[in-house]
Chain A
Amino acid sequence: MSKKPRVKVPKQAKAGELIQLKTLMSHVMETGNRKDSKTGKLIPRQIINKFVCKFNGKEVMSAELQPAIAANPYIAFYAKATESGTFDFEWTEDGGEVIKASGEITVS
């Protein structure tokens, strides 16, 4: 099962500019409501339950995801460019596995 994160962070921005950050995580987001068509048993829940975005170590936004979020969770939001630095993104899966990605921005 591939769990590949993809992030889109603008490479450059002017100080004070509003930038959009886009993230996409390859993940089945198994709801726990679905039955296996062969055995009739419920397929256990396995979702990304948390997403965090930090800029230079400080939290910008975080989200708690529920099974109602579609497979391959996409989250897009904004940030105000203040200084050059790194956006760090973290997804936490049920069971505790953490998947990370990051993107750099130069602010002039």
Chain B
Amino acid sequence: MSTKSTKTAVLERRQVLKGVGFGALALAGTGLASREALATPEKATEYLAKMTGGAASKEGRVTVKLPEIAENGRTVPITISIDSPMTDNDYVKSVFVVAEGNPSPEVISFTMSPAMGKAEVSTRMRLGKTQNVRAAAIMSDGSVFTGTKQVKVTIGGCGG
């Protein structure tokens, strides 16, 4: 009698645990779904075009440095460097950084000046998943250059 009741109790607890487990899974599922309004390569391109005033851009002069594989997307070091003499007559005016697979494409933008001496900035960013990170630089003569880097992400870092 007493053994039987213990057995039921154990079963009940298991069932309860199972139920909780599924509940948590379902919750996690909806959480993901609500965050699915993601940036796309097209959205990133659109944003860059808007920021650079629709000027024709060329690949090159902009280097985006990110690790090949980011184990933790919560904080990933990124360095953007632009090949420019940074003199009063020839310098980088601004830089826009976008991510193709985060909740929204914009990451950070910089307004630079010849006082920097070297057009290179480093920061740390969040990455939701494996994706391309792109940067566009507007030079003092109005020309636009871009650079891209793909980064593989093991654990995403946007949201919960």
Residue of A nearest to B35 (CB): A33
Residue of B nearest to A63 (CB): B110
**A18 contacts B by Cβ under 8 Å:** yes
Interface of chain A, helix or strand or loop or mixed?
strand
| Cross-chain contact A76 with B118 (CB below 8 angstroms) | no
Interface hit among A3-11, A54-62, A95-103:
A54-62
Interface hit among B4-12, B14-22, B99-107, B142-150:
B99-107
Number of A-B contacts (CB under 8 A): 104
For the complex formed, measure the closest distance between the CB of A21 and the CB atoms of chain B, giving whole angstroms.
9
For the complex formed, measure the closest distance between the CB of A5 and the CB atoms of chain B, giving whole angstroms.
15
| Cross-chain contact A69 with B117 (CB below 8 angstroms) | no
Interface size on A, residues (CB 8 A): 31
Choose one: B115, B123, B124; the contact of A60 (CB below 8 Å).
Answer: B115
For the complex formed, measure the closest distance between the CB of A47 and the CB atoms of chain B, giving whole angstroms.
11
| Cross-chain contact B122 with A77 (CB below 8 angstroms) | yes
| Cross-chain contact A55 with B106 (CB below 8 angstroms) | no
**B74 contacts A by Cβ under 8 Å:** yes
For the complex formed, measure the closest distance between the CB of A81 and the CB atoms of chain B, giving whole angstroms.
8
**B126 contacts A by Cβ under 8 Å:** yes
For the complex formed, measure the closest distance between the CB of B158 and the CB atoms of chain A, giving whole angstroms.
6
**B109 contacts A by Cβ under 8 Å:** yes
| Cross-chain contact B157 with A70 (CB below 8 angstroms) | yes
B residues neighboring A (CB under 8 Å) = 31, 34-35, 74-76, 86, 99, 102-104, 106-113, 115-118, 120-126, 157-160
Could you list some 22 contacts between A and B, CB below 8 A?
A33-B35, A33-B103, A35-B34, A35-B160, A55-B115, A59-B113, A60-B116, A61-B110, A61-B116, A62-B110, A63-B110, A63-B121, A64-B108, A64-B109, A66-B108, A73-B124, A74-B123, A76-B123, A77-B116, A77-B121, A80-B115, A80-B117
